[in-house]
Amino acid sequence: MPLMPKRVKYRKVQRGSIAGLAKRNNSLDFGEYGLQTMERGYITNNQIEAARVAINRHMKRRGKVWIRMFPYKPITKKPLETRMGKGKGNVEGWVAPIKPGRVLFEISGCTETIAKEALNLACSKLPVRCKFLSRASA
């Protein structure tokens, strides 16, 4: 089941901007290790799910994983071979706008080497560059 809001006030929203750095969600709050972004961009619900599956498979379901983002923003797309105009396209998917410095995933209940490998696998599934965080070094 893909991540998406249960209901929204408006079906289509403007794209907006994702300027600046993350002021919130930029430190480890739950787990011992985390994955922090270094770039801005949009992460889709499918990318979040792929990263989560990669982490869980590497950890062999030991430990706990927190997902610190939610795809609340609808992205629209017009059908192929459609002329310009005639209104905004239909909702194609849901994304989470990400600013640099935001913590995306947190892990606890495993060793640092396993956590680093699992989060590197997750990072390869995401469209933004990320870095590994640990509570000991922070």
Tokens 């870095």, residue located: 131
In a domain, 12, yes or no: no
Mean pLDDT of the chain: 93
The candidate with the shortest Cα–Cα distance to 113, out of 63, 69, 73, 74, is 63
Per-residue pLDDT tens for 60-99? Answer: 888 999 999 999 999 999 999 999 999 999 999 999 999 9
Q: Which domain holds residue 52?
A: 33-69+95-134
d(CA 116, CA 107): 10
Tokens 């030991």, residue located: 62
pLDDT, residue 1, reads 67
Model pTM score: 0.91
In a domain, 84, yes or no: no
pLDDT, residue 2, reads 76
Per-residue pLDDT tens for 6-23? Answer: 999 999 999 999 999 999
In a domain, 101, yes or no: yes
In a domain, 20, yes or no: no
> Would you give the DSSP letter of residue 125?
T
In a domain, 27, yes or no: no
In a domain, 76, yes or no: no
CATH of the domain at 46: 3.90.1170.10
d(CA 106, CA 115): 9
d(CA 93, CA 75): 5
Per-residue pLDDT tens for 106-121? Answer: 999 999 999 999 999 9
In a domain, 90, yes or no: no
Task: Check if the beta carbon of residue 69 is closer than 8 Å to that of residue 21.
Answer: no
Domain count, the chain: 1
In a domain, 50, yes or no: yes
Per-residue pLDDT tens for 41-51? Answer: 999 999 999 99
Instruction: Count Cβ atoms within 10 A of the Cβ of residue 126 and give its class: 0-12 exposed, 13-18 middle, 19 or more buried.
Output: buried
